[in-house]
Structure 1
Amino acid sequence: MLCGFLVVGQLYVTIPLVTDVAGRFDIAPERAALIGSAFGFAYASGFLVFGPLSDRYGRLRLILFGLTTTALATLLVSWAQSFEMLLASRAAQGFVAAAFPPAALSLIAEELPPAQRPFGVSLMSFAFLGAAPLAQVFAAGMDVGLPGIMLCLAPFYLLAAIALAVATKTGTRQPAQKESSRGHLASLLHNPSILTAWAAAVTVLFGFVSLHAGAQTLGVALNVDLQTLRLIGLPPLLLTFAAAPLTLRYGATVTARLGLVLACLGLMLAAVGTSLTVMGASIVLSAGVALAVPGLIATVAGRATNANRGLALAFYTFCLFIGASLAPPLSQALAQFGTAPLWLLPAGLLLIAALGITATRKS
């Protein structure tokens, strides 16, 4: 969980720093927002590489590799002297950080007893989602700028790798057999439930990040304190723990659909555009995402096998963070037209995703 906060937080830590980066390199805020997308797209792409590698070479090896190289890449980000160098180092950071999530989720699905797996997924889901507000609050509260923040974080990835190496029992499970993943991918592509879960994953963090990136862009026009907006959405993320009993009792697809609908309602509330409704939207949206993420993870992990679970979750996390990466630049573009187009677009996509999960839940 601690590793999850550290790794995934890198996607969100730059949201409050866009104005600072724009001033530092004398560029437009729209261009400065690419520091989040550079990390996010490389991060999402890395899942497609490291997910299958975790099937082949073992989960823990990939996790330790990812944490160690993320520490080095984080140092590179702190040393960037030009905006182009900053984008390149952020992309490198995102790519190697991608070794962690699919391997960690697969490890949970394989090592925990079946009755404890939904709770284990909930723990990791809370870490992945809680990283969003906590990373932003951390970055906004620091006065050292992006280089100082990265220098501060780099040692923690190395410490996390050492702690995980000591605490984790190695050799409890052999890596999957070393064969081509082509057949594994084909079996996944023939499963409609997995395909719709992947598609739904794109909408979840797209909506979640759109709220915060959009609020950051609109600024004083909303009359909302951004730190309060971030913090007020943190407690509802604890609903990830309610996802475990919901999944055990009603099934993973029910949990996922409930979360998608709640997230949709939250963004519809935000589109009203008053300070009160935006604050309320943060609460409802966080609650929805807290149920949708573990519900979708459990859907994908449950329909996959040990031989292709890493690959299945790699595509899931790829889709999840592609949505998160698209949100900042699209929010910058849509915010000029007002709150309705800014937040009704992701709301509509979430509703379509819920309908897609419903249509394929028995396949």
Structure 2
Amino acid sequence: MKTQNYRLLLLLMLGAVLIVGQLYVTLPMTSALASNWQVTTGQAAWAGSAFGFAYAAGFLLLGSVSDRHGRRTVLLFSLVATAGASVVVAIAPSFNMLLGARALQGLAAAGFPPAALALVAETLPPGRRPLGISLLSFAFLAAAPAAQLLAAQFAGLGLHVIMLALAAGYVLLAVGLYRLLPTGMAREKKGAIAANPVPMWRQTQLMGAWMAACTVLFAFVSLHAGAQITGFSENQLQTLRLAGLPPLLICLVAARLVSRVGPVPTARAGLVLSAIALMVGLLDGFGWVAAASVLLSAGIALAVPGLIGTVASRATADFRARAMSLYTFFLFVGASIASPVAQALAPHGWSALLWAPIAALLGAAAVVNGWSSRSPSVPQPSEHRIS
């Protein structure tokens, strides 16, 4: 790859960590937020869910924007808008205003991931796209444990300081991308979107990947939120977060696996491994739960590049960003509903809490390849490489 491509990928990875990390940054601060705003911990947990649901909804609202107006424009606008919303979060005078600002923040941040994924799929040389997608996938996934670890370390500074620091980071990233990306990069020609003869909602070869995406972060957040809800100590929670970080590097191996066997088998292997990981977590003892965290991260590190590769290779250029938007919508819907589901299942015991994501993952593995359509205009790809 050219030096410019390496720089672009590095900036997009950093942006992915900072953007997606917003979903998780308030998780270890739930008790502190409850105390500060005089609300229950259940109410305080909505500081994360408000961002998550707006973030997911934003993918549907903003999915076609970068297809129409260019990846560069959307990436820059998303970063600057997220920076502004982060400042609003920092100065929110009430808890209700905080939740509203977090929702605004999630909506602004939603423009970044689809445009970034589409940009990588379109900019890198064909032979390097699996690696680029895997590196970006690693950044999106690493945001979960990294954001929780850092937020736990700096929680004493207060949410307002953390948000102001993140706002500065978004502005600096926007400046970097502004200087790196030429005007009009990856912009679709006028009228290209209307050229696709089959509506996106009828792309049955993609539906399995979209459905499977809902289970990935649902499983991850269920384990970590469940551990917090059921009374694991802070040291144990930090151990689970740290243990889950190194296996995410398997994303790099997944690039070669996607190239050799195809994205669908890679995604299916990751989903099954994730289900097995949670089954390990059902065994007695914290050691087994720590092992589950390691295996779960490894499974997700295989599943996500496989799912992204499936969507990127099967979606045509005229609606690739929108297809990625639906993928990320379902991915973060799963993450957003995980904590409330964990809260509801926790009174029934640790086993009940984990069996829900286990069942979801196994179902996802069964349907990830989608299904054939009777319409002759719908492509039926049999790709083994992302090109």
Select the residue among 92, 95, 99 that pairs with 2:107. 95
Amino acid at match of 2:174: A
Work out the number of aligned pairs and report it: 361
RMSD value over aligned CA atoms?
A: 1.8
Partners of 2:71 and 2:186 within 8 A in 1: no
3-state SS in 2 of match to 1:174: coil
**How much has 1:35 moved relative to structure 2?**
0.9
Moved more, 309-318 or 187-196: 187-196
CA 1:256 to 1:352, structure 2 compared with 1: closer, same or farther past 3 Å?
same
3-state SS in 1 of match to 2:230: helix
CA 1:332 to 1:120, structure 2 compared with 1: closer, same or farther past 3 Å?
same
Runs of 4+ aligned residues of structure 1 deviating over 6 Å after TM superposition are: none
Amino acid at match of 2:249: L
Tell me which residue corresponds to 2:43: 31
**How much has 1:126 moved relative to structure 2?**
0.4
**How much has 1:31 moved relative to structure 2?**
1.3
Select the residue among 122, 141, 144 that pairs with 1:132. 144
Tell me which residue corresponds to 1:325: 336
Q: TM-score, normalised to structure 1's length?
A: 0.95
Distance 1:86 1:291 in 2: 36
CA 1:176 to 1:101, structure 2 compared with 1: closer, same or farther past 3 Å?
farther
CA 1:148 to 1:308, structure 2 compared with 1: closer, same or farther past 3 Å?
same
Distance 1:174 1:86 in 2: 36
Tell me which residue corresponds to 1:315: 326
Select the residue among 163, 168, 178 that pairs with 2:181. 168
Identity of aligned residues (%): 50
**How much has 1:188 moved relative to structure 2?**
2.9
Q: 2:273 matched to 1:262?
A: yes
Amino acid at match of 2:90: S
Amino acid at match of 2:180: A
Tell me which residue corresponds to 2:75: 63
Q: 2:249 matched to 1:201?
A: no
Select the residue among 158, 174, 190 that pairs with 1:177. 190
Q: 2:295 matched to 1:284?
A: yes
**How much has 1:186 moved relative to structure 2?**
4.4
Distance 2:289 2:191 in 1: 50
Partners of 1:205 and 1:324 within 8 A in 2: yes
* Cα deviation 1:233-259 (Å, max 9, x = unaligned): 000000011111001000000110011
**How much has 1:175 moved relative to structure 2?**
2.3
3-state SS in 1 of match to 2:317: coil
Distance 2:53 2:370 in 1: 29
Distance 2:110 2:337 in 1: 17
The answer for unaligned runs of 5 or more in structure 2 is 1-12, 373-379, 382-387
Distance 2:354 2:367 in 1: 20
Distance 1:262 1:31 in 2: 33
Structure 1 segment 315-354 matched on structure 2, within 5 A = 315-354=326-365
Tell me which residue corresponds to 2:60: 48
Partners of 2:206 and 2:369 within 8 A in 1: no
Distance 1:258 1:171 in 2: 38
Tell me which residue corresponds to 2:172: 159
Amino acid at match of 1:309: R
Partners of 1:273 and 1:339 within 8 A in 2: no
Partners of 2:205 and 2:369 within 8 A in 1: no
Distance 1:2 1:223 in 2: 27
3-state SS in 2 of match to 1:37: helix
Partners of 1:177 and 1:307 within 8 A in 2: no
Distance 1:61 1:22 in 2: 38
Tell me which residue corresponds to 1:149: 162
Moved more, 317-326 or 334-343: 334-343
Tell me which residue corresponds to 2:125: 113
Distance 1:312 1:229 in 2: 33
Tell me which residue corresponds to 1:78: 90
3-state SS in 2 of match to 1:308: helix
Partners of 1:12 and 1:36 within 8 A in 2: yes
Select the residue among 23, 26, 31 that pairs with 1:11. 23
Distance 2:66 2:58 in 1: 12
* Cα deviation 1:113-166 (Å, max 9, x = unaligned): 111111110011000000000000000001112122112211010000001111
Distance 2:235 2:359 in 1: 24
Partners of 2:193 and 2:319 within 8 A in 1: no
